[in-house]
């Protein structure tokens, strides 16, 4: 910081401000560029890693779902095969069939339970102990599907609430050709709450979902369970038409889920051998919760660093400004005559060099004028130095009042003054000097009964001439004015 301050002290104020603004601005740009890149990179990394997790989870759910439906299909095929081999026996009361169904039920850990329906749609349980009574299921799609050539065969039906059990279940039906008891359809009723129990442990908490969707877009199951979702259709939703129904598997991100409106990352896979699609999702808000915490901390730290940087920059600018003011004040003192407030000899030398360079570059006129107060020593000797100082100040003020801002007035010492008239020809300078002499002669100084007059010598700069030569010619013209009786103005003989 101290080295930077020392280096900046040697620069101009405008350059200093640009350097400080560039340093602070560059730091802030790099800092916030890093913050932006890091937050973007971490966000993408989190989503990418979780996308892989969802893909793996969808594979696991796919295998679990396929296994469940394969087990249901095998159970139906085994039951139908027994019926085909025992066409004269009523399956609902046959001990061997009841034992077979019990074994199948136990093999599925009670998740798969086979039921039957007669040709007129009467529901029958196994064993048939009259549990269903005269319950009819002829209106159910799993029953009607077996009487339609387009859907006859293994059929995954719409989820329904059992008319006997009162529980929400997923029927999978199959036709029966020859059997006793007038059985026409057998079906597996998979209770959805049992599926939910199996999938709940695999769901990404807290707002992740696992869903099984039929090939026509019908929701068969969703964990967590929501009655309004089960049986609804997403066939016309873009997520179905653009993703789930087109590709065998994949991952996509949606800004608004059709179910709950939340932004989600969804991994899906079509179930082999069955008209099903499994979909596993995670809420983007859940996935990015830790990222938001990290981002908040990083932004807070970056904000603190930014504020400190701006504060240090402000302190540095303020310090440089104060030093610049001090430097200017010192420069002013170095270049200013303390009595009259006009420039001193040092200022004259600097300005004269600059004006000669400008006159040479732009081919413009430059005239130097020497002024000397007539008989000033008498004023000091007769009326005191206080009156003499007052006279010098009045003369300086008068000279300044009669020139332009582009001109320069300097006191060389004692009663001698030099005025540099920029872009002023010798003829115009003579006219201006006469006016200045007249203005000084009209002044009245307290304590001085007489008026002060001045003599002047003028010289116009020539191409190739030095500052010393120009002032020497103007001084020589001043001596001629004094020799001529003072209170007059003469021009250089070399003009």
**Tens place of pLDDT for every residue, the chain, 495 residues?**
444 445 444 455 566 778 888 888 999 999 999 999 999 999 999 989 999 999 999 999 999 999 999 999 999 999 999 999 999 899 989 999 999 999 998 988 888 889 999 999 999 988 887 766 788 999 999 999 999 999 999 999 999 998 888 888 899 999 998 788 889 999 998 888 888 888 888 888 888 999 999 999 999 999 888 888 899 999 998 889 989 888 999 999 988 888 888 899 999 999 999 999 999 999 999 999 999 999 999 999 999 999 998 999 888 888 888 888 888 888 888 999 999 999 999 999 999 999 999 999 999 999 999 999 999 999 999 999 999 999 999 999 999 999 999 999 999 989 999 999 999 999 999 999 999 999 999 999 988 888 999 999 999 999 999 999 999 999 999 999 999 989 999 998 775
Question: CA 352 to CA 419: how far, in whole Å?
Answer: 10
3-state SS, one letter per residue, for 131-148: CCCCCECCCCHHHHHHHC
**C-alpha pair distances (Å), 178 with each of 119, 124, 150, 190:** 12, 17, 21, 25
Q: Tell me what pLDDT residue 198 has.
A: 80
Residue given tokens 């594979």 in the structure block: 59
Question: CA 368 to CA 470: how far, in whole Å?
Answer: 7
User: What domains can you pick out in the chain, each with its CATH number?
Assistant: 46-287 (3.30.450.20), 336-491 (3.30.70.270)
Per the structure block, which two tokens stand in for 154? Answer: 């293994």
* DSSP E strand stretches across 298-439: 366-373, 408-413, 416-422
> pTM for this structure?
0.63
Q: Tell me what pLDDT residue 196 has.
A: 83
Per the structure block, which two tokens stand in for 113? Answer: 């339970």
3-state SS, one letter per residue, for 423-436: CCCHHHHHHHHHHH
Question: CA 406 to CA 426: how far, in whole Å?
Answer: 17
In this structure, the number of other CB atoms found within 10 A of the CB of residue 300 comes to: 10
Question: CA 147 to CA 149: how far, in whole Å?
Answer: 6
* Cβ–Cβ under 8 Å, residues 254 and 263: yes
In this structure, the number of other CB atoms found within 10 A of the CB of residue 73 comes to: 17
Distance between start and end Cα atoms, the chain:
57
**C-alpha pair distances (Å), 34 with each of 26, 28, 47, 299, 437:** 12, 10, 20, 11, 70
H or E element at residue 250: strand 249-254
Residue-by-residue DSSP string for 190-218: EEHHHHHHHHHTTSPTTT-EEEEEETTSB
Q: Tell me what pLDDT residue 455 has.
A: 96
């Amino acid at each position: 910081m101290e080295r930077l301050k020392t280096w900046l002290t040697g620069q101009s104020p405008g350059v200093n401000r640009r350097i400080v603004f560039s340093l602070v601005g560059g730091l802030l740009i790099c800092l916030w560029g890093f913050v932006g890149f890091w937050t973007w990179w971490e966000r993408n990394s989190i989503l990418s890693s979780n996308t892989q997790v969802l893909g793996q989870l969808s594979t696991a759910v796919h295998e679990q779902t396929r296994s469940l439906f394969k087990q249901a299909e095998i159970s139906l095929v085994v039951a139908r095969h027994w019926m085909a081999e025992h066409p004269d026996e009523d399956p609902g009361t046959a001990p061997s069939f009841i034992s077979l169904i019990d074994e199948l039920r136990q093999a599925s850990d009670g998740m798969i339970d086979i039921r039957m329906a007669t040709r007129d749609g009467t529901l029958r349980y196994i064993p048939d102990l009259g549990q269903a009574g005269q319950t009819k299921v002829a209106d159910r799609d799993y029953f009607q599907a077996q009487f339609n050539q387009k859907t006859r065969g293994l059929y995954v039906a719409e989820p329904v609430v059992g008319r006997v059990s009162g529980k929400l279940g997923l029927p999978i039906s199959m036709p029966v050709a020859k059997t006793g008891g007038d059985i026409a359809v057998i079906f597996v009723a998979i209770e959805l709450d049992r599926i939910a129990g199996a999938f709940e442990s695999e769901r990404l908490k807290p707002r992740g979902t696992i869903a099984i969707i039929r090939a026509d877009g019908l929701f068969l199951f969703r964990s967590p369970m929501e009655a309004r979702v089960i049986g609804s259709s997403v066939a016309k939703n873009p997520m179905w038409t653009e993703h789930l129904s087109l590709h065998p598997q994949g991952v996509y991100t949606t800004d608004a889920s059709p179910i709950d409106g939340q932004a989600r990352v969804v991994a899906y896979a079509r179930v082999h051998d069955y008209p099903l699609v499994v979909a596993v999702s995670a809420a983007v808000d859940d996935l990015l919760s830790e990222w938001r915490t990290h981002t908040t901390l990083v932004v807070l730290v970056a904000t603190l660093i930014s504020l400190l940087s701006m504060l240090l920059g402000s302190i540095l600018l303020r310090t440089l400004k104060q030093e610049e003011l001090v430097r200017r004040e010192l420069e002013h003192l170095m270049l200013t005559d303390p009595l009259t407030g006009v420039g001193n000899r040092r200022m004259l030398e600097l300005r004269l060099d600059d004006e000669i360079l400008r006159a040479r570059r732009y081919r413009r006129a430059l005239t130097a004028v020497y002024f000397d107060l007539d008989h000033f020593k008498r004023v000091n000797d007769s009326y005191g130095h206080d009156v003499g100082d007052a006279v010098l100040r009045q003369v300086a003020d008068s000279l300044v009042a009669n020139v332009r801002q582009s001109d320069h007035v300097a006191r060389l010492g004692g009663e001698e003054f030099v005025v540099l008239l920029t872009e002023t020809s010798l003829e115009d300078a003579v006219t201006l000097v006469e006016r200045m002499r007249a203005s000084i002669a009209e002044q009245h100084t307290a304590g001085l009964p007489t008026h002060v007059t001045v003599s002047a010598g003028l010289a116009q700069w020539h191409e190739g001439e030095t500052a010393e030569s120009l002032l020497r010619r103007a001084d020589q013209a001043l001596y001629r004015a004094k020799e001529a009786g003072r209170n007059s103005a003469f021009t250089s003989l070399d003009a």
